[in-house]
Amino acid sequence: MIAIVCPGQGSQTPGFLSPWLELPAFRTRLESLSEVAGLDLVAHGTTSDAETIKDTAVAQPLIVAAGLATAAVLLPDGPSSALGVTAGHSVGEITAATLAGVLSDRDAMTFVRERGQGMAAASAVTATGMSAVLGGDPAEVAAALERHGLTAANANGAGQVVAAGTLEQLAALAAEPPAKARVIPLQVAGAFHTHHMAPAVEALTALTEGFETQAPSVSLLSNADGAVVSDGPEALTRLVRQVSSPVRWDLCMQTMVSMGVTTLIELTPAGTLVGLAKRAMPGVTTLALKTPDDLAAAQQLVTDQTDASKD
């Protein structure tokens, strides 16, 4: 069984879409998504600098559009029996839900546009951020976060927790890290998946009242608890709530293992989720689809799985 996974904010780097835009199908899809987002995602994926694409209102539509355009090249006929499960980390869950057919391209880009803008506005109220905590005893890490008033916004598994809160709280954690742990500031502009994002949740709740959804065509995992979501409206509700709730990517990986996933392919901008899978999903074949140079290998994995499913 193949899992297609979709990365979240912070995975983007300047110019990461330049080689992809040489593929006509990719460029066409990206330009179409740009129109809905009201952003020049071609420019942001090729010539915009690191500070520009760090902006939440830019980064989120850019990452979702990049994933959808990559999927259009990898799976030109859409998901098939070869794709057993899909999941996305944070904003990548929108990519996954769209790939699974829950949302249309238009609704997905409208949603992520407003999500990015709403979270950027919420982040501007108080100076907040996020830091990865790598290693350390889990109980000691949890105690340190509680002591400094921080939230474990991402439980990523493989010994990685992302702490979120005010910049002062994060600085205090960095000055007094848990034993045998490293604290690394992340290139994001706010305390995502915490109570600081409540205003964005309210706006998205109102926005999505008119959305039409479909049941997922493949197994779609939820960031909330790693559960398979089979109902379109429930998937959308979870996407809205996720903005101010912790991401349990550790549970998503556990679910994939329990489902019998044998191959994991991460869509562009790839690398982060494959890195976590290599440590937390031993024995699973992984591929980070970073550039078109990786496309042939990814397509071969899909072909092999398709052939195996027919036997």
Catalytic residue list: 90, 193
Nearest to 103 by CA among 278, 239, 228, 267: 239
Q: Do 92 and 67 contact (CB within 8 A), yes or no? A: yes
Helix (H) or strand (E) holding 288: strand 285-288
Show the beta-strand stretches assigned E in 100-258. Answer: 128-135, 151-157, 160-166, 181-185, 219-221, 228-229
Contact residues for 5 (Cβ-Cβ < 8 A; gap 6+): 86, 87, 88, 89, 92, 96, 264, 265, 266, 267, 273, 277
Show the beta-strand stretches assigned E in the chain. Answer: 2-6, 83-88, 128-135, 151-157, 160-166, 181-185, 219-221, 228-229, 263-266, 285-288
Show the beta-strand stretches assigned E in 56-150. Answer: 83-88, 128-135
Number of residues written out for the chain: 311
Q: Do 149 and 194 contact (CB within 8 A), yes or no? A: no
